[in-house]
Structure 1
């Protein structure tokens, strides 16, 4: 349960890689803050409570229970809040080496080419991705579609709506560039609309559509759809509650953590100290 906000400062020592500038390597994400009960399932099979100052790498899975959350900062400067009742896999996390003395708040763009792929098994993510370099990607994948974040504040949410008997994927673009990639069949028209709802079409091909700034899209699949049971069987094991939840919304925390002492480091530098 949510009981404590933990303030802290992370100081990092920068290093210059001996690898070529084009070499991609495993990047990292650092845990800025944990509230409540959040569990880390490591790529090596280990399991334990997530703590402020922990380093996350490719292959780790994070699960936040009810009234819990975690804030992360990635080595490319992107920030992410894992909301309550959420399970997310860090599927791919790579970045070319770089040298920088800027804190993540000071970065206006990722300091080197980076590849980030998060698999949102269930729940909600809030984030801020800085402007990406050419060749960089930041993707949030779900069973109903993928959000390709080009540089913006955003949210991606996959929930089961017990009232409607539907799974819903909602992608919100607050101020930048986001594409939605899914099977929705046909063109999505945002003209004069703040929010658009479309049905997931299991028989259509994969489509890509931009989401304008300050707009959101919800993709739904109902219990009567033949693909619903397959989706539920994949998702149910990732719901971090004992019962299938309804549609519970809590006030969203700030998207941008306030900790100017956090310094972005090149992926090969793993030295971290906590005050």
Structure 2
């Protein structure tokens, strides 16, 4: 008997260079055996060297996209990425409360790899207050977690876990604290759930092509969560998938800056 094919929705911005955002999400969904739908919250003029312009649609059009998808398609998991501004954050939160998808992965996208702001400063509070309590899991890196908590970024794993617990106290069911900013040879992540914490270690992959890593990890979790039935195995497998995509990234020849990871390393 064939396994079911799950439907996963990404709510995020478009990357015209194809390495992050909606494009990375749909690639990861497909690579991991899920059908992908999309709601676009921003258009970026972007390549491997940076973001040169951002256009955010009216929040009402974001709502129209969300309602069109949910009114017709069974959605088994949602991944949320770039939301651009507070109006779009609230529109997404309102729609998710109305349609109540069973699994929500919130990737708190705030800054691009090229250090370009992807979320307006006034929207950070809306993200924390409106979307965090709806999330089944939130996946911040250390600067994003610090911004949400209005504290200094964690400098060690003890502080990572403490900040993860603080974010869970704000309403998220689980938190994946990503430790890439700690430096060192290891790249530890911590999964914090109601029943305990789990360290997910792994060697830092020494490659130049790291564009879209956060988008890819969160979308991999969204694709795998319905298939595995629990967060911990989905997160562990998603991290392994991303590691392999990083290791194979040098096979791609895309742009002259920070290139993308190789989502289809298993087949190409």
> Between Structure 1 and Structure 2, which shows a larger proportion of strand residues?
1
The TM-score with structure 1 as length reference comes to 0.30
The TM-score with structure 2 as length reference comes to 0.31
Tell which structure's C-alpha radius of gyration is larger: 1
